[in-house]
Structure 1
Amino acid sequence: MENETRKTANQNEHHEERSQSTLCDFPFAVSSVADLLENYDAVTNACLKKVIVGALVAAYVWVIWNNRNSLVFNKRGNPLSIIVFGVSMAVNPYTSTLLPSFSSKTHTQTTPIFSIKPTKVTKTSRKLATIKCAALQSSPLLHFPNSISGDQPHQWNFFQRTAAAALDMFEGVLVSRETRTPLPKTSDPRVQIAGNFAPVPEQTVRHNLPVSGVVPECVNGVYVRNGANPLFEPVAGHHLFDGDGMVHALTETHRLVQERELGRPIFPKAIGELHGHLGVARLALFYTRSLLGLVDHSKGMGVANAGLVYFNHRLLAMSEDDMPYEIKITASSDIETVGRYDFSEQLTSTMIAHPKLDPVSGEMFALSYDVVQKPYLKYFKFSKDGEKSPDVEIPLDMPTMMHDFAITENFVVVPDQQVVFKLEEMMKGGSPVVYDKTKVSRFGILSKNAENSDDMIWVDSPETFCFHLWNAWEEPESDEVVVIGSCMTPPDSIFNECDENLKSVLSEIRINLKTRTSTKRSIVKESEHLNLEAGMVNRDKLGRKTQFAYLAIAEPWPKVSGFAKVDLVSGEVKTFIYGDQKFGGEPFFLPSGPNSDREDDGYVLAFVHDEKTWKSELQIVNAMTMEMEASVKLPSRVPYGFHGTFISSKDLAEQAQNQACSFWTEAQLVSAVIRFQLLKKIFPVVDKYKW
């Protein structure tokens, strides 16, 4: 796939006549107030550039002087040599960077995606040779696909190169100050991306992998899983959620393309870096770079590392900070990023990472939230053919963390919980992601076909924070909507450092639409408590009453030692443990067929990593018997990730046909129109027929 390239900023031609009384050298004559108003934007840009350059030079000298004893110079000498270095960067784009880095030496690889066909292999026992990987296990940061480079894009002009050098120097000072004290665990790269959480480079498609057992007939297609896989080594704070999306291969987001071109991470990391005054400085630094044309945030800043959905012949990778990115699976089972997808210019905002597909209507439902300006939340849906409905603005008092929601047969269930965004907290030295103890959590019930939020019903549910909701359904006989989710305490523990151990309790929340009250209970008995996070129900039953849920056993947190099949009615729990020192991620339930009478007739798929042998595999477990059905040995390490999906061979064929039809229909249409017009001129009688 071709990388996107930034267009260089067009330089305005300077007129010979200039006003002698102006403070800035405008690229036109300003002789009156009318001229000034007519050229307001250009005047503003010219003044801003002058002010920015002056401020940067002053700040540059001040910061260098005040930090002369603590700066990391990377053996480049005294502050005077740094100033010379800054000028040289403007002239020579190949000067190496000043930014300090965390050491990382070991190289590993991974498999892109997992293409599966049923096998007739008899059950065998393949004993793997033990591989000692002491170096791998001891190194907290294993490998980063790209090393940081000091190269600058060749299309930058002298002004941009000089500004870039000054801003890079300023960022180096920020990093130097940030690394004087230990980072909190929630933003320390040595914690967040240690061991098998560390990123991996891309690898070509491999076929004919060794299989133990028999791959079921229904497992015929491609299993893809999204996850965070930072392309570059962090220069400062980093949270697991900040990593670039890898759908095993890389998701080519607009952000990633620019950072690859610049040879270093440049976009701010929403969770790992935006804390306190340094976070404010980083935001100011980023938008200054954007104003000067050094980066372009207009086409999105997201990492597309969380969710995956296959909808209307397209595979979409998502995170709630951007639009979805379309992913194409090629005939060779490789993955290519098509690009940012706006549903044919219908979508103009971000979209959360967990849209919901109605298994009956084929519609897709989604939310979009904004952390800066109202409306903080919007709801919309897409028909099965991809036609978007108008946005429904949902009034909220403050921007709220809304990673997931639920649907029923007739309603959308929207959580408005206690984890909120307060950007002003950064000015006080804190995190913008805040657990607001004064706020009461609640759920909003809205008709799927609503045109506005006037009839939305809000019901309080105190002390409830569900990062994920697994299902919801209606029980008309009691006027209730039943919501199944994992309630986390402390609510902000995955974003902010906390001494209290995280608990994730599978819960049933009953919302009475008539009395507008709610109740909550733990589904699993206290004596059998497990931290259950990341999973699903049978997606063919989504929005309808289900008996079973398949959830990751998040122990020891944040690793996943196995998964649990939970009876949502009785609370009975059956567990499958991946093995000694083996850990995985989200269990994916794949039904054995569309006409099965049993809800649990299917298989659970999960990528599993052995931390003793440092090998990875795909485990396929029979959901009814909870026994291993097959294991496929993978040629390389697969890091722990987030959410996945399965695309059947039938859907893959339809995707390929749809892409081919889209291309040829357009080409043939143009050709047909041209030929028709020529025929009309040569043979007027043709016009009588409806061609």
Structure 2
Amino acid sequence: MTTKPPTTATESTTPAPHMAGNFAPVKDELTAYDLPVTGTIPPELSGWFLRNGPNPRDAASPHWFFGDGMVHGLRLEGGRAVSYRNRWVRTSTFTDGAPAVDARGRRDLTAGAANTHIVRHAGRTLALVESSFPYEIDCRPGHELETIGVHDFDGRLTTQMTAHPKTCPTTGELHFFGYGSPTPPYVTYHRADASGELVISRPIDVPGRTMMHDFHLTEGHVIFMDLPLVHDPNRPLPYSWDPEYGARLGVLRRDDPHGEVRWLPIDPCYVFHALNAHDDGDHRIVLYVSRYADFGDRTPPCLWRWTIDLAAGTVSEEQLDDQFCEFPRVDDRLTGQPARFGHAIAAEGPGSGQIPGALLRYDLRTGAVVRHDFAAGRTPGEAVFAPADDRPGGPGWLITYVYDATTDTSDLVVLDAEDISADPVATVHLPQRVPYGFHGNWLPDSVG
């Protein structure tokens, strides 16, 4: 009989950073009703706040990005926190152990974690991960957060789908792309109309397998980011920083979706998340991003503005703030249009150390920044804007899950978006911890 050498105390008790603290998964799917509230929930808020994130069922995952998707939902109605529930997304990987690549090397786009985002378009609620097809989630009363099944746009989608699609508020179209194919074309641009029918799919020519997590949409253009985080199968996250690859922005006219993509160079950097973009006259496009100067060293991301001058063929680059800035969002009704305000968080990531938790409100017109600093040990997730009325860019609230390390509990916090430095409007006390996750949305009952 052979025996293993004894493990050290450190080896046996110290989990990987992405499996420790509030990055660790929860074990139970719960449903709870009539949750306790401190403060007053605005009666205008009637709908679901949903947020997706990795929650490995077997409590093991090689990287934070790869855990099984779990959606946490809070139902608000009539000034009450009506219910909370959390459910794993029942992908084929979750239910049957389906591998993303079979023994013959063939990619199964129905297999994946569906763990990154959750969006609504054309009456469907979709859980997304950029490596696979989306999965539809049921939000009907009595079926909340049950998995309906894979959604491939009636067989028309044949590539992966980004976790960051953009809905045009003018046309209702859903713009997105897929990347990750082992052979060219490495990127494909897609467009679905307001009814949910996939009407455009076309290749985008890039020279290598880069990690293209997000992109930009304006009223007249789609802008792709070809950045130097390049496929490397020898890493837990199979990409590595390679500034020699270069960095560039690709501009495609929306009225000529099969036309030329015009590529313009920028300084090497990486961007996980775009805040917003808009056209500025006939020849200028303004983009706001959370920018990493050097992803190899994981320098903290900050808010930058890129201005594309199509007449000159140049991009000017300007840092707007030096505070940690991630998970940026705007009022989604202003996607692709000039938006005065944007919001972001300052919070920790796996292995990054403790960053004091805060929400930031950027005035993109004046440059002013207002902070909401949470108490020690309290860390917010992505903050989503929920409007108070039908005026885009008008009043509303920021909604986010907040983890409290001192009590190992989580709350849903509602802030007045026009006065975020003030105390929360409402704090809903949840029946279990909500692990750190990625993205979500406020899905109001009335859709206008």
TM-score normalised to structure 1 length: 0.58
Which of 208, 221, 234 pairs up with 2:47? Answer: 221
**1:519 maps to what in 2?**
316
What SS does the corresponding residue of 2:243 show, helix, strand or coil?
A: coil
Q: Is the 8 A contact 2:288 2:305 kept in 1?
A: yes
Q: Is the 8 A contact 1:616 1:637 kept in 2?
A: yes
Deviations 1:493-512 (A, max 9, x none): xxxxxxx4531010000111
Which one-letter code corresponds to 1:486 in the other structure? S
Which one-letter code corresponds to 2:19 in the other structure? I
Q: Distance in 2 between matches of 1:646 and 1:610?
A: 22
Q: Distance in 1 between matches of 2:319 and 2:237?
A: 31
Matched, 1:255 2:93: yes
Matched, 1:246 2:70: yes
Which of 305, 320, 330 pairs up with 1:537? Answer: 330
TM-aligned CA distance change 1:514 to 1:564, over 3 Å: same
Shift of 1:458: 1.0
Q: Is the 8 A contact 1:564 1:574 kept in 2?
A: yes
Q: Distance in 1 between matches of 2:186 and 2:288?
A: 25
TM-aligned CA distance change 1:299 to 1:406, over 3 Å: closer
Deviations 1:60-79 (A, max 9, x none): xxxxxxxx978699xxxxxx
Matched, 1:593 2:399: no
What SS does the corresponding residue of 2:54 show, helix, strand or coil?
A: coil
Matches within 5 A, 1:492-571: 492=296, 500=297, 502-524=299-321, 529-555=322-348, 557=352, 561-571=357-367
What SS does the corresponding residue of 1:366 show, helix, strand or coil?
A: strand
Q: Distance in 2 between matches of 1:72 and 1:345?
A: 52
Shift of 1:620: 0.2
Shift of 1:431: 7.1
**2:180 maps to what in 1?**
370
Between Structure 1 and Structure 2, the one with more strand by share is 2
Deviations 1:494-539 (A, max 9, x none): xxxxxx4531010000111111111111112xxxx21100130111
**1:650 maps to what in 2?**
446
Q: Distance in 2 between matches of 1:434 and 1:506?
A: 23
Matches within 5 A, 1:255-294: 255-259=93-97, 267=99, 287-288=102-103
TM-aligned CA distance change 1:501 to 1:441, over 3 Å: closer
Q: Is the 8 A contact 2:290 2:328 kept in 1?
A: no
Shift of 1:558: 6.3
Q: Is the 8 A contact 1:600 1:623 kept in 2?
A: no
Q: Is the 8 A contact 2:99 2:108 kept in 1?
A: no
Matched, 1:304 2:114: yes
What SS does the corresponding residue of 1:344 show, helix, strand or coil?
A: coil
Asked which structure has the greater CA Rg, the reply is 1
Q: Is the 8 A contact 2:117 2:163 kept in 1?
A: yes
Q: Is the 8 A contact 2:274 2:328 kept in 1?
A: no
**1:457 maps to what in 2?**
262
**1:448 maps to what in 2?**
254
Shift of 1:355: 0.4
TM-aligned CA distance change 1:636 to 1:393, over 3 Å: same
Q: Distance in 2 between matches of 1:383 and 1:559?
A: 43
TM-aligned CA distance change 1:430 to 1:580, over 3 Å: closer
**1:482 maps to what in 2?**
286
**1:232 maps to what in 2?**
58
Which of 581, 587, 597 pairs up with 2:377? Answer: 581
Q: Is the 8 A contact 1:600 1:624 kept in 2?
A: no
Which one-letter code corresponds to 2:373 in the other structure? I
Shift of 1:240: 0.5
Matched, 1:383 2:205: no
- Count matched residues: 426
**1:356 maps to what in 2?**
166
What SS does the corresponding residue of 1:583 show, helix, strand or coil?
A: strand
Matched, 1:316 2:126: yes
Shift of 1:287: 4.2
Shift of 1:634: 0.8
Q: Distance in 2 between matches of 1:521 and 1:452?
A: 31
TM-aligned CA distance change 1:333 to 1:583, over 3 Å: farther
What SS does the corresponding residue of 1:342 show, helix, strand or coil?
A: coil
Deviations 1:36-69 (A, max 9, x none): xxxxxxxxxxxxxxxxxxxxxxxxxxxxxxxx97
The percentage of counterpart residues that share the same residue type is: 29
What SS does the corresponding residue of 2:170 show, helix, strand or coil?
A: coil
Matched, 1:341 2:151: yes
Deviations 1:610-642 (A, max 9, x none): 111112111000011112111111111111111
Q: Is the 8 A contact 1:586 1:642 kept in 2?
A: yes
Shift of 1:440: 2.0
What SS does the corresponding residue of 1:257 show, helix, strand or coil?
A: helix
Q: Distance in 2 between matches of 1:417 and 1:298?
A: 26
Which of 393, 415, 430 pairs up with 1:634? Answer: 430
Matched, 1:331 2:124: no
Q: Distance in 2 between matches of 1:577 and 1:589?
A: 18
Q: Distance in 1 between matches of 2:191 and 2:372?
A: 36
Q: Distance in 2 between matches of 1:408 and 1:562?
A: 29
Q: Is the 8 A contact 2:211 2:229 kept in 1?
A: yes
Q: Is the 8 A contact 2:250 2:261 kept in 1?
A: yes
| Uncovered stretches (5+) of structure 1, i.e. residues with no partner | 1-67, 74-101, 104-138, 141-188, 260-265, 269-285, 493-499, 655-691
**1:416 maps to what in 2?**
226
Between Structure 1 and Structure 2, the one with more helix by share is 1
Q: Distance in 1 between matches of 2:221 and 2:229?
A: 24
Q: Distance in 2 between matches of 1:309 and 1:334?
A: 15
Shift of 1:244: 0.6
Q: Is the 8 A contact 2:340 2:365 kept in 1?
A: yes
What SS does the corresponding residue of 2:137 show, helix, strand or coil?
A: strand
Q: Distance in 1 between matches of 2:113 and 2:163?
A: 11
Shift of 1:377: 0.7
What SS does the corresponding residue of 2:31 show, helix, strand or coil?
A: coil
Q: Distance in 2 between matches of 1:72 and 1:335?
A: 45
Q: Distance in 2 between matches of 1:196 and 1:405?
A: 29
Shift of 1:541: 0.8
Mean alpha-carbon deviation: is it higher for 297-306 or for 436-445? Answer: 297-306
| Uncovered stretches (5+) of structure 2, i.e. residues with no partner | 73-86
Which one-letter code corresponds to 1:530 in the other structure? Q
Deviations 1:600-619 (A, max 9, x none): 51100010111111121110
Shift of 1:358: 0.6
